Chains A and B, each alone.
Chain A
Amino acid sequence: DIQMTQSPSTLSASVGDRVTITCRASQTIGNWLAWYQQKPGKAPNLLIYKASYLETGVPSRFSGRGSGTEFTLTISSLQPDDFATYFCQQYNTTYSFGQGTKLEIK
């Protein structure tokens, strides 16, 4: 099974900050990676797929990069609505998720 490891587990930041979350795969997955945002008590919401493609309706302050085993999600200027938990998911071989990164207000 492919293991997905996110870092950091928790990230404290302020409105307006630029933040980056990293996701590493235990073996190469090409660019078959998605990112989701999840708020408490809600289902995940798709942000990015194929490592860097922005889902329709997602603000352009979100961006994704990477291929192979290392990927990043960047939020260019944090907005109050962005404080949530973020998960990566690989869909190269079966389907597995990272453990999540909680983005909290500093």
Chain B
Amino acid sequence: QVQLVQSGAEVKKPGASVKVSCRTSGYTFTDFYIHWVRQAPGQGLVWLGWIDPKTGHTDYALQFQGWVTLTSDTSINTAYIDLNRLRSDDTAVYYCAREYCSGGNCYYFFDYWGQGTPVIVSS
């Protein structure tokens, strides 16, 4: 079965960086884009960007360009998100999610999600 398993919670000081992983299984990793979404405490969902594991191509939400970096390692079916220069308002749960594909067409909504990685930024 399809699974996305993320790395554990992180506590960082302001100005630090963090890298969160999303290990996938149960499907062909290079056939589906991986997206990243965050959710601040008690807040809604915000889309950060996607990566195509087959080509390494990425796209980022405008407000996060230059701050978020998405990468992937096809040898271990894992996607990563790098967050730089963390601020307290980056405290959130970060999710990876797989795009939905059917009949050879893919759409940017999400049928499988990781369990979420809390990132806490505090001095």
Distance of A100 Cα from B42 Cα, bound (Å):
10
A49 and B114 in contact, given A87-B44, A91-B108, A97-B46 (Cβ under 8 angstroms): no
The range of chain A's interface size is 20 to 34
How does the 8 Å CB contact mask read for A60-95 relative to B, with 1 for contact and 0 for none?
000000000000000000000000000101010011
Q: Is the CB of A43 within 8 A of B114?
A: yes
A-B contact sample (18 more), CB < 8 A, given A1-B62, A94-B61, A95-B109: A34-B109, A34-B110, A42-B115, A42-B116, A44-B113, A46-B111, A49-B100, A49-B109, A55-B111, A89-B109, A91-B107, A91-B108, A95-B47, A95-B108, A97-B46, A99-B43, A99-B44, A100-B44
Of all chain B residues, which has the CB nearest A89?
B109
Distance of A45 Cα from B95 Cα, bound (Å):
12
B35: A residues at CB distance < 8 A: 95
Interfacial residues, chain A to chain B (CB-CB below 8 A): 1, 32, 34, 42-46, 49-50, 55, 87, 89, 91, 94-100
Main secondary structure of the interface of B (DSSP, over half): strand
- Is B45 among interface residues, defined by CB-CB distance under 8 A? yes
Distance of A45 Cα from B93 Cα, bound (Å):
16
Please count the residue pairs between chain A and chain B whose beta carbons lie under 8 angstroms apart in the complex: 49
Interfacial residues, chain B to chain A (CB-CB below 8 A): 35, 43-47, 61-62, 95, 97, 100, 107-111, 113-116
Of all chain B residues, which has the CB nearest A35?
B109
Q: Is the CB of A96 within 8 A of B100?
A: no
A46 and B116 in contact, given A97-B47, A100-B44 (Cβ under 8 angstroms): no
Q: Is the CB of A43 within 8 A of B116?
A: yes
Q: Is the CB of A91 within 8 A of B44?
A: no
B115: A residues at CB distance < 8 A: 42-43
A46: B residues at CB distance < 8 A: 100, 109-111
